[in-house]
Every structure is written in C-alpha cells, then in structure tokens.
Structure 1
C-alpha cells in the first residue's frame, strides 16, 4: 500500500484551498483519479509565471519541478505545450492556478508543507 494520496484527492484540495484563499483554480484536463500525474499552469493576477509538476529530487524529497515554457510565453505556446503533454499521457491532470505566490501555494497544498 502506498502513502501517496490519490491525484483526484490532491486536485480537489487544491481547488478548494485556492477558492477559499480568494484565488482561482480550474481543471483544464481531467486525468486518472488514482494515479494520474499533474501539470500546473501557474498564474498570478492572470499573468503567466510558469509551469510545474510534482516530483522528487535526488534525495527523494517531494518538490515541484519547473517544466515547459518560461514566463515570456504567449497563450498559444502555453496551450500547445500542455496539449502535447496530454496527448502523450491521457492520465495527466492539467490544472490552471491563479493565486499570489502560486508555486509556493501549490507546494504547500500538494506536499502539506
């Protein structure tokens, strides 16, 4: 048995916490409830600040890893990236998160930090 929470539970917590904190979180693509991976599109006041996904560092500690286009990317580039990822991994959850300090907020919610 794994100590990892199902992805659907983590996504639900992220959506609720963002809403409760006055931010916005939206599911752009629904993945597998039990074991799907997660891609986060991070925004602050509607401005794109990057993408991240949960992972592990070399010591095995849980971290958010920056992936995809950088902060200067336009909307079509952002959409193309996540849609290509989703085409290769139909279990991938794609979550858009718009809240101050979006990356920190996501890490605290996902990892309980």
Structure 2
C-alpha cells in the first residue's frame, strides 16, 4: 500500500504552511489529483527562483532537493525549463512560494516523503 498523501492535499498543505508563515503561495499548474509529481518554485524575498523536487535517496526515502536555480543572466531559461516539464509530464504540479527565509521554510515545512 502506498502511504503517500494525495498530491492535491499535499499542495494545499504546503500553500497553507507558507501563508501561515506570512508568505504567499500559488499553484501555477495543477497536475494529477492523487499521484502527480510536485515541483516547488521558491522565491526568497522576490529574489531568484529555486526549484525543489523530491528525489529518492539510496535508502529509498524521497527528500526535497534543489533541482534548478534561476540565474540572473538568463531568467527566461528557468521559465522555459518549467514549460518543458509541463509538456513532458502533464500530471506535474508546479507550486510557487514566496517566503522570507527559504532554507528555514524548507527545513521546517517540507518533510521527507
């Protein structure tokens, strides 16, 4: 039996957590309701975006990891990457969060899957 939380509930929880912490959360792309992959774009104080996605560890646990960082010289490349991910996997969820302290938010609110 799969013990993962349905994607739509996890996304709701993440958005509520960022709002409770004084930030802002918005779903940019809705994916498959129960099993879609979740990508989280975090903007820290309106700075460059950092993309997080769950990746498996050697022990089988799935941890949130940075998978892409927006660069100042080519911000459009980050947006193009997200567009390609949506085309490759229409079931993917993309959630954008604006937070005051990215590392603290990830540490305190994104649990291991």
- Asked whether the two chains share a fold, i.e. TM above 0.5, the reply is yes
Alignment-derived partner of residue 61 in structure 1: 61
Q: TM-score, normalised by structure 1?
A: 0.86
Are the equivalent residues in 1 in contact too, given 2:64–2:112 (CA < 8 A)?
A: no
Alignment-derived partner of residue 82 in structure 2: 82
**Ranges of 4+ aligned residues in structure 1 off by more than 4 Å:** none
Cα distance in structure 2, aligned partners of 1:73 and 1:3? 41
Q: TM-score, normalised by structure 2?
A: 0.86
Unmatched tracts of structure 1, length 5 or more:
none
Alignment-derived partner of residue 28 in structure 2: 28
Q: Cα RMSD between the aligned structures?
A: 2.1
Cα distance in structure 1, aligned partners of 2:54 and 2:73? 21
Unmatched tracts of structure 2, length 5 or more:
none
Question: Any idea what the Cα deviations from partners look like across 1:47-90, whole Å, max 9, x if unmatched?
Answer: 12411101221112331122134444643222111010000000
Change (3 A) 1:7 1:21: same
Counterparts in 2 of 1:12-51, with a 5 A limit? Answer: 12-51=12-51
Are the equivalent residues in 2 in contact too, given 1:42–1:103 (CA < 8 A)?
A: no
* Corresponding residue pairs, total: 113
Cα distance in structure 2, aligned partners of 1:68 and 1:15? 20
